[in-house]
Chain A
Amino acid sequence: MRRKHLASEKYAKRSAFKSIWKQLKKNKGAMMGLAILSVIVLIAILSQFAFNYKEDIIAQNIGNRLQHPSREHLFGTDALGRDVLGRVAYGARYSLAIGVVSVLIAMVAGVALGAAAGYIGGFFENIVMRITDIFSAIPSVLLAIAIVASLGKSTFNLMVAVGVASIPAFVRVARASVLTVRGEEYIEAARAIGMRDWKIILVHILPNCLSQIIVQTTLRVASAIIAAASLSFLGLGVPAPAPEWGSMLSEGRAYIRDYSYLMVFPGLAIMLTVLSLNLIGDGLRDALDPKLKR
């Protein structure tokens, strides 16, 4: 009996994925976003092998400083003589890692809280939502800044700061999804056969909220990358000499007058990464939404 149930569920999931993929393929923007993102991820992975961290990325070479883009240094060199192309490529690792990890933290914490709040209801739900409201009242940039200011500058603290700022969004989405699904009859049926609450949440409720959560995750990674870069720009992010895109823009700012090329490439990198994620997120949202506003 149980085996049959699981098997039919697997089939349902697989065909659901297939149909979503089919819908997504139709969206040219989403496909382009996927392509761009793949390239960026590839760069992030391969840069470890293409460049030597100690020599190419952080070693200073004052004699070579502030070279405009040339054949030897395609993106030029920065104020400390470091090759900008290598640093931008390496920077992808930081941005992607920070974006993904911080949002994963937020997703796990936020969905757990939100789903529980929506399912259990009552006083617990009230408390969770009030606390979420309080956190939402603080502008997210300021909240992240405060956390980093307090805990100190490090990559990990940056992840925590950006992650915490993203939790409210997940709490809301998860709770809303759970509330929609909670009243459905198959939940009543599951309870009637004696299924435990946590199991119901895991097996029945969450899979149905999955689509909303996936969309939210993709979009939040995009905003997390911008947030991390913003904090680094303010000097509150990844500590030097790490090649984070935001820090690179901050370092190059002093030379904006005569060496404006320093402003171009790291910023472009941020924009392309975020753009690709937004394209994918939009595409997912359209593919997963039955009432398409075509």
Chain B
Amino acid sequence: MYRYIINRLIMLIPVLLGVVFIVFFIMDLAPGDPVYQVAGEQATPAELQELRVKLGLDGNIFTRYARYIKNMLRGDLGVSYISKRNVMKTYLERLPNTLMLASVTMVVAILVSIPLGIIAAVHQNSIKDTVSMILALLGLSIPNFWLGLLLIILFSLKLKWLPSGGINGIKSIILPALTVGLGLAALMTRTTRSSMLDVVRQDYLRTARSKGVTEKKVIYRHALKNALIPIITIFGIQFSNVLGGSVLAETVFSWPGVGRLVVDAINQRDIPMVTGALVMTTMLVSIVNLLVDIIYAYVDPRIKAQYTK
């Protein structure tokens, strides 16, 4: 099992190197020379060149890329053009806020989607099923930022129950989490239902019933444990979208997380910050994906066997 984990970690490295290159390449496509942002209009060519070296902007894309990687391995992602603060430090300051939001989001999604999906599958083609699926489809079709705005209108402005922004105790995380969480819940409800439907027609459930296992246990123990396997996988893949969605939620609710950090940095053309934030966020997603793969291998005995032999 450990060999499998080590293997996957090693395979992560080229992916991360590739990501950094792609981010680099994209940011490099920008017209204009970023040195002017820091130097100002008045600088002489000599001063510009000196500044370029200082900022690591000299050389072609490959030398700059190599330099960036070297620095990255030391934990140095550069300094923001705008705030002059250390990029890594700023990112890590804001990361917990986003992680908190992402966690609550996923919890909300699980709490809604799994029970709903099971009910829809067990009562297939009934009213409960149809209603659940319609709600799920609506949830998939709503842009999350619009949902956030509607939630603000209802719960902050009209009912005055919840704050419309900022990070101020438990109440302030509810609306942002719902904004992204409901969309995710819509997708996961459909996934749960689909997975349960596949499992519900399996013979081993009939064996369980013939043993005298109660129907409830047949569904929630025998069936669900099997259905969870693909559900966990898809859930893990969705973490990337949760982070993407939190960019919008953080904007709508003025949540001080890394999503907003990226958007602000982009609007200010703060290239080191944008690059650093994108690289760090992608690394986070890759690590989470790896964790999900490991959990998946652990939960499904057939896969586990493949990697422990």
Contact = CB atoms under 8 A, between A and B. Distances in A.
A142 B143 contact: no
Nearest to A234: B263
Nearest to A278: B141
A293 interface: yes
A245 B36 CA distance: 35
B113 interface: no
A253 B149 CA distance: 8
Nearest to B125: A294
A79 to B, nearest CB: 16
A114 to B, nearest CB: 18
Interface string A251-294: 00100110010010001001100110011001000000000011
B22 to A, nearest CB: 6
Interface string A202-243: 000000000000000000001000100110011110000000
A96 B150 CA distance: 24
A263 to B, nearest CB: 5
A172 B245 CA distance: 23
Contacts of B263: 145, 234, 236
B105 interface: no
A121 interface: no
Nearest to B286: A137
A249 B141 contact: no
Given A138-B19, A142-B281, A149 B248 contact: no
B248 A234 contact: yes
B194 A293 contact: yes
Nearest to B164: A256
Given A222-B141, A234-B263, A275-B141, A146 B23 contact: yes
A146 B145 contact: no
Interface stretch (A10-18, A51-59, A97-105, A126-134): A126-134
Interface string B105-136: 00000000000000000000100000000000
Contacts of A267: 143, 146, 149-150
A141 B26 contact: no
A197 to B, nearest CB: 29
A29 B263 CA distance: 37
B10 to A, nearest CB: 14
Q: For the complex of A and B, list the 5 residue pairs with the smallest distance between their C-beta atoms, beginning with the closest.
A: A141-B244, A267-B146, A134-B18, A139-B244, A275-B141
Interface residues of B, number: 50
A29 B133 CA distance: 11
B143 A256 contact: no
15 contacts: A130-B18, A134-B18, A138-B19, A138-B281, A142-B243, A142-B247, A142-B278, A150-B29, A230-B248, A253-B149, A256-B157, A260-B153, A271-B141, A274-B143, A293-B197
B40 to A, nearest CB: 22
A140 interface: yes
A149 B30 contact: yes
B51 interface: no
Interface residues of A, number: 45
Contacts of A156: none
A230 B143 contact: yes
B26 A147 contact: yes
B263 to A, nearest CB: 6
B212 interface: no
B18 A150 contact: no
A233 B145 contact: yes
A260 B157 CA distance: 10
Contacts, number: 135
Interface string B181-219: 000000000000010011000000000000000000000
Interface in B138-160: 138, 140-146, 149-150, 152-153, 157
Nearest to B30: A150
A229 B143 CA distance: 8
B247 A257 contact: no
B19 A249 contact: no
Contacts of A253: 149
A274 B145 CA distance: 14
B243 A139 contact: yes
A270 B153 CA distance: 18
Contact of B142 (A145, A233, A271): A271
B127 to A, nearest CB: 15
Contacts of A263: 146, 149-150, 153
Given A142-B247, A145-B247, A152-B30, 17 more contacts: A130-B15, A137-B286, A139-B241, A139-B285, A140-B240, A151-B29, A222-B141, A233-B143, A234-B248, A235-B267, A253-B149, A263-B150, A263-B153, A270-B143, A271-B143, A274-B142, A293-B198
Given A235-B267, A274-B141, A145 B262 contact: yes
A177 to B, nearest CB: 20
B194 A146 contact: no
Contacts of B19: 134, 137-138
Contact of A137 (B248, B267, B285): B285
